Structure 1
Amino acid sequence: MKLKLIAPAWRESRTGKIKRFSFFPPLSLGILASLTPDDVEISLTDENLQEIDFQEKVDLVAITTMTAAAPRSYEIAEKFRANGARVVLGGIHPSAVPEEAVNYADAVCIGEAEDYWPELIEDFKGGQLKKFYRAGERKKFLTIPRPKRSLFPPKGYLTSITMQTTRGCPFACDFCSVTTFFGRTYRFCPIPGIISELRDLKAKLVAFVDDNIGGNFKRAKELFSELIPLKLKWYSQASINISQDDELLELARKSGCIGLFIGLESLSTQNLEAVGKKVNVVEKFEQAIEKIHYYGLAIQGAFIFGLDEDDKSVFKQTVEFAKKMKLEAVQFGILTPFPGTPLYAQMEKEGRIFDRNWAHYDIGHVVFEPKHMSPATLRQGFEWAWTEFYSVRSILQRLGLLRRNLEFLLALNFAYRRGVRHFSHMPV
C-alpha cells in the first residue's frame, strides 16, 4: 500500500498564483506518518515548496487543509481520484464543514486524528473506508508521537524543527478557529518527552507551534525551566497576559525565547469586548509591551481590521501605535468569519457575508460588509498599513542596530516586506 500525504499551497491574494513559501513544515502530516503501520509506503509533498506529481501511483492520499487552501485541496483531491486513488481530507476546514468536504473525498477526518488514524488505515486495507471519522473524547494529557521529520523537504523553512507542547487555548475568541477545532480545552504534553526529543534532535532553533504556550503559568514555568540547560533559541505564541508574571518572563528569556506572537487585535475596548477577547486590556498594552521588551523578548503583534467599531481612522492609529512601541514585527489581518466560529454564525444571521469563495478566507480579503466603512476602504487601509509598517525607514527605526537577535529580526521584516510588494498600487 502506498500513502501520499499532502499539504496544499495557498495562492497569492492578487494574482491567484501558488505561493512557494512556508515558515514551517506540516507537523500534523509528520505525526500521521508516525502513526501509520510500517508496511505502508509513505511519501509527503508540501506544495508550498514542492510540485505535486499527480501521475504518482498511490493508493491513498491524505490532505490536510485550512479554509483558504480548501479550494486547492479539492482540486488536488479530484485529480488524484480521477487517477484511481482514494482521498481523505482533514484539518480545520473539513472538520468545520464535513458535509461539504465529503463531496470531494472518500472520507473526512473530523478533529484530531491520533485516536482513529490507525483504524482508518486498516479500514482502507479491508475495503471498508467510512465516510466520516470523528475524534472521541479528548484525553486530559496529550501523547503526541514524534513526527517522521525525514519526510519533510530538507530546505526552505524558517526552521525545520517545530513542536507542540500544548493544544488549545484557555480563551475562546469569537473569530478564532482554535476553540472550534480543539474545543474549550487546554492540554499539555509531558515535559520529559519534549526535552528528550529536543536533545535527540540537537535542536538550536525551535518553533513551538502552540496556540498559547503561556496559557497556564505554572506549567509554562516548569517547561521553560527544563529548556534552560538545552541552550537553544525558540519562539512561540502567547497572550498578552504573560506580561503579568515577571518570573515567567525571566524564565522565558533564560530558556532561549527570542520572541512571541501576541494577538493584540485592536486598540478599541469595545471591539475586544464584542469578540470575547477579555484577556486584552487596551489601557495596559503599553505597560505590557514595555515589560516584555524589558526581558529582551521580541513581539510580533497581530491586529485585526474591520471589527464593528472600526472606521477609516483605525489604520493610521494602529500603525502609529505599533511604531511607537517598536514592535519588532506585526501581522495585520482583515476580520474573517471562518466557518464553525461564533463570528461566522453571527454574520450569517445578520446577512453580512457576501463572498463565499473559501480561497478569499485568508485574512487578506474582505468577505463581509463592515459597519463603518466600505469593503474597498477596508482593503485599501489594510494594504496601506502593511506597506507603511514594512517600509525600509520603519524597519530601521523600529529595530535599530543594537537589538537582540537583530539578524533574525531583520530577515523576518524583509521577508514580510517582500510579501507586500504585490500591493502594486502602493509605494514601498
Structure 2
Amino acid sequence: MKALLIWPHFPNSFWSYQETLHLAGLRSTNPPLGLITVAAMLPKEWEIRFSDRNVQPETEADWAWCDIVIISAMIVQKADFRNLIQKGIALGKKVAVGGPFPTSVPEFALEAGAHYLILDEGECTIPMFLAALERGDEQGIFRSGEKPDVTQTPIPRFDLLDLDAYLAITVQFSRGCPFQCEFCDIINLYGRKPRTKTPEQMLAELEVLYQMGWYRYVFIVDDNFIGNSRNAKLFLKALIPWMEERNYPFILLTEASLNLAEDDEMIELMVKAGFTILFMGIETPDTESLLGIHKNQNTRHPLVESCQKITQAGLQIMSGFIMGFDGERPGAGKRIQEFITATGIPQGQFSLLQALQNTQLWQRLEKEGRLMNGLGTFHQGAIMNFVPTRPVEELVEEYIDAFWNIYEPMPFLKRTFRHFMMMNGWRGRLMPKITSKELRLFSAVCWRQGVLRSTRWLFWGQFLAIALRKPRLFYDYMTVLGVGEHFFKYRHEVRDQLLTQLATVKQAKAKHQEEENYQLASVQ
C-alpha cells in the first residue's frame, strides 16, 4: 500500500506565530505528532509519504502515486480538511481520516465523503482499520471506548519531518486530565484518568531527536503534565541526569494546571529538568466564573500569588484567558488586562468562549436552546457560537479593546521585562545554540523594537539589564520579544474580523426589530 499522510493548512491564529516564523525563516510552529505516530503504527511494508501543508504542500505527483490518503485534523483546520477529502475523492483515491476534529464531529468528514473514519485513539482503532482493508471493505467507521495503554505506543516517525522548518518538536508523556472544566473536550477525547508513558520510553524518544540534531524547543504536549503527579515526578527524576549528561540540548515546555503552585517538589524537578515555559489555563480572575465552569482548582489559592510563585522559581508562564462565561460581570476584559499586568505574563491566549461539540458546555447550551450555527470558527477572531448571558455587542467590543491593549508594544515590553526579572535566573547552560534562524529573529527584534518604534529607549535599557543581570535568560527573553511581533500584527486581524462579524449581528438585530415594528404597526 502506498499511503500519503497529509496535515492540513492552519489559518492564522494565536498559535500560528506567522510573523515570528517569517522573521526567523521558519515555516511552522510544530509538526503533527498524532499523524507521525500513526505513521509508526502502519505496516512496515507500506510505502509512506508525508506532507505538512504548513511547511511544504504535497505535489500532484504525490496524489498520482498514492493508493490511499490519510488526513488528520483539528477543528481550526476544517476548511482545508474538507478540501483535501474532496480532492482525494475526485481523484479516485481512498480517503481515511482521524484526529481530534473528526473524532468529535464525525458527520463533517462523512458529509465531505471520507471512506474510512479512524476515530478515538489510534492504538485501538488503527488495527481495526487495517483489518478492514485486509477484508477488502470499501468503507468503515472505527471507534473504541477503550483507553489504550500508552506504554505500547511506538516512537513517532520523526524521520518524516523537515526539522529545520519548525520552531518546536512535539512529544507526549501522558493523555487525559483529572479535572472536569465545563468548556473543555479533553476528558471526552482522552478521559479523566491520565495515562503515562514510562521514563524509558520518553528518554528513547528524546534520544532519537538528540541524535537527529534537534536543539530548539521540545513541547511536551500533554493535556496536563502533572495530571498524574507520581509518574510525572518519576519521569523528571530520570530526565534530569539525561539532560545534564548532554548539556541540556533542548528547551522544554509543556501544559500544566495551576495547582502546580501547591507542589514545591514538582516545581523544583521541572526547573532542574530544563523546563522553561508552562502553558496554564487561568481562564478568568473572576472566582464566580471559575466555580461556574467547574474549574475549582483555580480557586484554592489567590491566582496572582500562585502565578508569581511559579514564575519566581524560573518558569515563564503562558496563559489561557476566556471571556463570555455565563453570569460574567461587565468589565471582564479590563479585569483580565489588570491580572496580566499584575503577573507580568507576556503571552495571554485570550479568546471569546466557544462551545465545543459534546462538551458539558455544549450539552447544557443545547438543552437551553442557546446554540447557534454558522458563527463558531474557533479562533481569536470569532464571535461565540451561542447566545451569551451578556449582550453580545458589549462582550465583543470589550474583548476587542482588551486584546488590542494587551498586545500594544509598549505594555508588552514592560510586562515581559518584569516577568523575566521576577524569575530565578538558573538555566542548565548559559546559552542555547544560536544559528542563523535565531540571529535573523533577534536582529529583526532589535531593528523593529529598538530603532523603528517608540519603544526604542525602553527596549535598549531592558535589553542591557537582562543581558547583565539575567544572562542565562537572555535567549528566552529575546524569543518572547520575537513572539510579540506576531501579536502586534495579529491584533489588527482579530479586530477587523470581529468588527465585521459584529456589524452583521447588529444588522440582523436591526432587521429583526424592523420586522417586529412592522408587524406591530399592522396589528394596530
Is the counterpart of residue 273 in structure 1 residue 303 in structure 2?
A: no
Larger radius of gyration: 2
Residues 63-142 of structure 1: pairs in structure 2 closer than 5 A: 63-103=71-111, 104-142=113-151
Provide the residue aligned with 2:59 in structure 1: 53
The amino acid of 1:299's aligned partner reads I
Q: CA deviation at 1:315?
A: 0.8
1:45-73 CA distances to partner (integer Å, 9 max, x unpaired)?
A: 22223334356212111111222322331
1:215-261 CA distances to partner (integer Å, 9 max, x unpaired)?
A: 12222222222221212420000000001011111111111111100
Q: CA deviation at 1:290?
A: 1.2
Alpha-carbon distance in structure 1 between the residues aligned to 2:311 and 2:132: 52
Q: Aligned to 1:279, what secondary structure does the other structure show?
A: helix
Provide the residue aligned with 2:422 in structure 1: none
Provide the residue aligned with 1:399 in structure 2: 416
The amino acid of 2:229's aligned partner reads F
Provide the residue aligned with 1:298 in structure 2: 316
Quick one: structure 1 residues 282 and 218, their matched pair in 2 at CA, closer, same or farther if it must change by over 3 Å? closer
Provide the residue aligned with 2:331 in structure 1: 313
Provide the residue aligned with 1:383 in structure 2: 400
C-alpha RMSD of matched pairs (Å):
2.3
Provide the residue aligned with 1:169 in structure 2: 177
Provide the residue aligned with 2:429 in structure 1: none
Q: What is the aligned counterpart of 1:417 among 488, 492, 498? A: 488
Q: Aligned to 1:89, what secondary structure does the other structure show?
A: strand
The TM-score, its normalising length taken from structure 1, stands at: 0.91
Is the counterpart of residue 287 in structure 1 residue 295 in structure 2?
A: no
Q: What is the aligned counterpart of 2:165 among 156, 160, 163? A: 156
Is the counterpart of residue 368 in structure 1 residue 386 in structure 2?
A: yes
Q: CA deviation at 1:165?
A: 0.4
Q: Aligned to 2:124, what secondary structure does the other structure show?
A: coil
Q: What is the aligned counterpart of 1:216 among 222, 228, 233? A: 228
Alpha-carbon distance in structure 2 between the residues aligned to 1:54 and 1:307: 46
Q: Aligned to 1:301, what secondary structure does the other structure show?
A: strand
Is the counterpart of residue 183 in structure 1 residue 200 in structure 2?
A: no
Structure 1, unaligned runs of 5 or more: none
The amino acid of 1:170's aligned partner reads P
Higher helix share goes to which structure?
2
Q: CA deviation at 1:140?
A: 4.9
1:310–1:372 CA contact under 8 A, matched in 2: yes
Quick one: structure 1 residues 225 and 413, their matched pair in 2 at CA, closer, same or farther if it must change by over 3 Å? farther
Q: CA deviation at 1:130?
A: 4.1
Q: Aligned to 1:263, what secondary structure does the other structure show?
A: strand
Is the counterpart of residue 228 in structure 1 residue 240 in structure 2?
A: yes
1:312–1:373 CA contact under 8 A, matched in 2: no
Alpha-carbon distance in structure 2 between the residues aligned to 1:282 and 1:378: 28
Q: CA deviation at 1:152?
A: 2.1
Alpha-carbon distance in structure 1 between the residues aligned to 2:263 and 2:495: 44
Q: What is the aligned counterpart of 1:344 among 339, 362, 365? A: 362
Alpha-carbon distance in structure 2 between the residues aligned to 1:154 and 1:75: 26
Q: Aligned to 2:101, what secondary structure does the other structure show?
A: helix
Quick one: structure 1 residues 44 and 377, their matched pair in 2 at CA, closer, same or farther if it must change by over 3 Å? farther
The amino acid of 1:11's aligned partner reads P
Q: CA deviation at 1:425?
A: 5.5
Provide the residue aligned with 1:199 in structure 2: 207
Q: Aligned to 2:122, what secondary structure does the other structure show?
A: coil
Q: CA deviation at 1:201?
A: 2.1
Quick one: structure 1 residues 392 and 327, their matched pair in 2 at CA, closer, same or farther if it must change by over 3 Å? same
Q: Aligned to 1:45, what secondary structure does the other structure show?
A: strand
Identity value in percent: 30
The amino acid of 2:315's aligned partner reads L
Is the counterpart of residue 330 in structure 1 residue 336 in structure 2?
A: no
The amino acid of 2:121's aligned partner reads E
Q: Aligned to 2:302, what secondary structure does the other structure show?
A: helix
Q: CA deviation at 1:178?
A: 0.8
Alpha-carbon distance in structure 1 between the residues aligned to 2:121 and 2:481: 36
Structure 2, unaligned runs of 5 or more: 22-26, 418-461, 498-524
1:142–1:188 CA contact under 8 A, matched in 2: yes
Q: Aligned to 1:114, what secondary structure does the other structure show?
A: helix
Quick one: structure 1 residues 338 and 423, their matched pair in 2 at CA, closer, same or farther if it must change by over 3 Å? closer
1:386–1:420 CA contact under 8 A, matched in 2: yes
More deviation in 171-180 or 347-356?
347-356
Quick one: structure 1 residues 27 and 140, their matched pair in 2 at CA, closer, same or farther if it must change by over 3 Å? closer
Number of paired residues?
419
1:316-355 CA distances to partner (integer Å, 9 max, x unpaired)?
A: 1111210121013110011110111111111122222223
2:304–2:339 CA contact under 8 A, matched in 1: no
1:67–1:338 CA contact under 8 A, matched in 2: no
The amino acid of 1:369's aligned partner reads V
The amino acid of 1:151's aligned partner reads L
1:118-155 CA distances to partner (integer Å, 9 max, x unpaired)?
A: 44235325422442111352245532211111222333
Alpha-carbon distance in structure 2 between the residues aligned to 1:96 and 1:81: 22
Is the counterpart of residue 143 in structure 1 residue 152 in structure 2?
A: yes
Alpha-carbon distance in structure 1 between the residues aligned to 2:364 and 2:145: 28
Alpha-carbon distance in structure 2 between the residues aligned to 1:356 and 1:127: 38
